[in-house]
Structure 1
């Protein structure tokens, strides 16, 4: 996958189920293919590599040639053989200015193609013997397959050595040039595919449940709390130790312990007569990490996090609670969303209902408070967002989520909402889309639909610093977006963070972000396991932000 140089257009290359190669441009706002470029070989012998330059050209290595397209035309522009010696699927990379194109050779060498400007640069650098000249006044505009392609000095092939050095096989002497041989130019989505690229830690557990339904980090960042499908809670804590002196959750420096009080009490929710596996679980942790409210289809339980003791229960079904949220400045006040589409503002200390809010048509799936705006935002299975004023709990506005062009919204949508750190921008996630809203006006600022060929979204969350968005999907892939513009910058393949098990289909049902470590997240899996994941020291972060990744929010039209 790669964006154009200005970061406004997304392209991808791959192989379909029939083994046919494709190169396409995506309409990110609709999650659909905008155009498919022709002339790729139907049965590629290897992985087809491609690159972009100048917001205009695409180059792909295919059938032992370099194929060039104008981004705005699906017909191939030119086909360059470069005097042969190329593998079936050569790797191709433009330099930053787009005037040089490097292509790998069958004998592990590199050939450099150049425009007129590139050829002059190579002359200046005294590396004439490296270049093939591409005609057309500085562009790849020739319609003839091999017209005008010449080799400056027909000597030997060349292989790259150290940065800023090129070595000929004839004399073995390095020649230093004034330009970098790092010719990768366009920004690309970072692909994490190997275990060496990240730290992945399975949290210890002696009893595995069927699946993890809810997952959160403690607000201190030193623990992870999971609610399983059997209504049981599990808490993992990291201890202060060398080298983890601050005791924060980590996938690298230290291992956590599955924590239990000396009494041996377990935190287990009340369940209804129904199968707890069929209930809609929910939980919320107080701001000081002292208390937990949780439900699994039965009464809401209030637990003491130090002793695991159940302090009280409330709100016996029906209706059953489907979402819980603590008031951000008052640990005695919670918002409760119910399966009958109502919302109650409840005082845990006095056991009094402060308000009952009605405006949805299906069960409540999300609640998010904003002190900055003095509002509560709710989401429902009816794909509706509602804004409530906290002063008098009046309904201020509402809107329905936008559907992708040519598609309709699911009849029942498990939509979640979460505020950015600024408490103004609102993240909205369901199985089909990710969106950023201005909570004051309920204007959709940014919108990303999952692509037609990708698996449904299972969960999404802001990173601890709200600069990134982590999104999990049913095929096990975790996507990392730049929050300011909803641009995909990293794709984490399940092969990188999960052990290989061809006999079972395992994927994240829920994803949670560490509150202070911006690159760390946890996943609760469909097989009951929990993993903490963060990039390796060599990676540092989950990719780099694409061009133009600033807070340039505009209303989505």
Structure 2
């Protein structure tokens, strides 16, 4: 938001801090102040049917930060960020919601859930536009019936990156046509997280065996595979669970590990960009790539 910090607490209550500066911008010289509207209303998610220990809280802000779409694992609610008033409650997923992303170009919201379903909601009236289930081939079934599905819009605000432990997939909104899928090698384990690079040309994906795969965003071709030995001591219990792209360096990213460590990774200085791996054969169909090789 530029001049504020918005947080979602474990008890499903949102907290908003604002900087009391002349220009309203964030600064390290002045501490932010916890803010509430005059009526004292708190933005609180509906957790009546939610087991908090199994919840995956997440939220997304609309264009100009006018509205907040949030969930603490169950139903998700639309709040007016100025008054904290609940405008609407959207229903469509069969299980807990685990991902939200807005497109200001298409004027839609895409949500994802543990029901391996993607839903597109129109921001004009907040009605459901489309819904699709992830295609999971036989033999690639999830190890958990409640595995989360994450979503992220590309910079073009049309293509959606869907991240599930079984795969990475690219969809085109608002119809949610599946353009391509990528599956990690079965010997490597499941996908733990993935994200677009800051310019949208690459996808960084973390895998449960400790490796990190760098993919070309337009084709899901494997460009490089970073082995766990390159950044952590050999320890089968430590692996990355979250990954974030640098906001201005397109080849740099950070990973958070199960042991609490955080590593920032970039290509070797000699190259400056991630190398291209050998061509890979499709294992399921023309729109699917299998990560059988390494860079």
Shift of 1:332: 3.5
Which residue in the other structure is 1:323 paired with?
58
* Distance (whole Å) between structure 1 residues aligned to residue 177 and residue 127 of structure 2: 19
Which residue in the other structure is 1:356 paired with?
89
* Distance (whole Å) between structure 2 residues aligned to residue 396 and residue 316 of structure 1: 23
Shift of 1:535: 1.6
* Distance (whole Å) between structure 1 residues aligned to residue 173 and residue 273 of structure 2: 29
TM-score normalized with structure 2 length: 0.81
In the TM superposition, what are the counterparts of 1:166-177 in structure 2 within 5 Å? none
The alpha-carbon distance between structure 1 residues 436 and 416, as it changes in their structure 2 partners (threshold 3 A), is same
Counterpart check, 1:411 vs 2:145? yes
* Distance (whole Å) between structure 2 residues aligned to residue 555 and residue 360 of structure 1: 26
Residues 339-378 of structure 1: CA deviation (Å, up to 9, x unaligned): 22x2211112111112211000111100110011111000
Check the 8 A contact 2:252/2:264 in 1, yes or no.
yes
Q: Which runs of 5+ in 2 are unaligned?
A: 19-25, 37-41, 281-285, 289-295
* Distance (whole Å) between structure 2 residues aligned to residue 425 and residue 317 of structure 1: 30
Check the 8 A contact 2:120/2:129 in 1, yes or no.
yes
Shift of 1:475: 1.8
SS at match of 1:495: helix
The alpha-carbon distance between structure 1 residues 546 and 440, as it changes in their structure 2 partners (threshold 3 A), is farther
Counterpart check, 1:523 vs 2:255? yes
The alpha-carbon distance between structure 1 residues 545 and 372, as it changes in their structure 2 partners (threshold 3 A), is farther
Alignment partner of 1:310 out of 7, 23, 34:
34
* Distance (whole Å) between structure 2 residues aligned to residue 309 and residue 495 of structure 1: 44
The alpha-carbon distance between structure 1 residues 496 and 465, as it changes in their structure 2 partners (threshold 3 A), is same
* Distance (whole Å) between structure 1 residues aligned to residue 69 and residue 277 of structure 2: 36
The alpha-carbon distance between structure 1 residues 375 and 532, as it changes in their structure 2 partners (threshold 3 A), is same
Q: Which runs of 5+ in 1 are unaligned?
A: 1-285, 549-553
SS at match of 1:535: coil
Check the 8 A contact 1:415/1:428 in 2, yes or no.
yes
* Distance (whole Å) between structure 1 residues aligned to residue 149 and residue 140 of structure 2: 17
The alpha-carbon distance between structure 1 residues 482 and 545, as it changes in their structure 2 partners (threshold 3 A), is farther
* Distance (whole Å) between structure 2 residues aligned to residue 488 and residue 546 of structure 1: 8
Counterpart check, 1:368 vs 2:101? yes
* Distance (whole Å) between structure 2 residues aligned to residue 545 and residue 310 of structure 1: 49
* Distance (whole Å) between structure 1 residues aligned to residue 5 and residue 215 of structure 2: 32
SS at match of 1:344: strand
Alignment partner of 1:299 out of 5, 8, 13:
13
SS at match of 1:330: helix
- Max Rg structure: 1
Check the 8 A contact 1:435/1:447 in 2, yes or no.
yes
SS at match of 2:229: helix
Counterpart check, 1:456 vs 2:190? yes
The alpha-carbon distance between structure 1 residues 546 and 308, as it changes in their structure 2 partners (threshold 3 A), is farther
Check the 8 A contact 2:165/2:190 in 1, yes or no.
yes
* Distance (whole Å) between structure 1 residues aligned to residue 12 and residue 104 of structure 2: 30
* Distance (whole Å) between structure 2 residues aligned to residue 371 and residue 496 of structure 1: 39
Shift of 1:529: 2.0
In the TM superposition, what are the counterparts of 1:197-212 in structure 2 within 5 Å? none
Residues 116-170 of structure 1: CA deviation (Å, up to 9, x unaligned): xxxxxxxxxxxxxxxxxxxxxxxxxxxxxxxxxxxxxxxxxxxxxxxxxxxxxxx
Residues 238-258 of structure 1: CA deviation (Å, up to 9, x unaligned): xxxxxxxxxxxxxxxxxxxxx
* Distance (whole Å) between structure 1 residues aligned to residue 141 and residue 229 of structure 2: 33
RMSD: 2.4
* Distance (whole Å) between structure 2 residues aligned to residue 527 and residue 373 of structure 1: 40
Which residue in the other structure is 1:379 paired with?
112
Which residue in the other structure is 2:207 paired with?
473
Which residue in the other structure is 2:165 paired with?
431
TM-score normalized with structure 1 length: 0.44
* Distance (whole Å) between structure 1 residues aligned to residue 241 and residue 252 of structure 2: 17
The alpha-carbon distance between structure 1 residues 526 and 330, as it changes in their structure 2 partners (threshold 3 A), is same
* Distance (whole Å) between structure 2 residues aligned to residue 317 and residue 441 of structure 1: 29
Check the 8 A contact 1:487/1:546 in 2, yes or no.
no
Which residue in the other structure is 2:283 paired with?
none
Which residue in the other structure is 2:39 paired with?
none
* Distance (whole Å) between structure 2 residues aligned to residue 544 and residue 289 of structure 1: 40
* Distance (whole Å) between structure 2 residues aligned to residue 314 and residue 337 of structure 1: 11
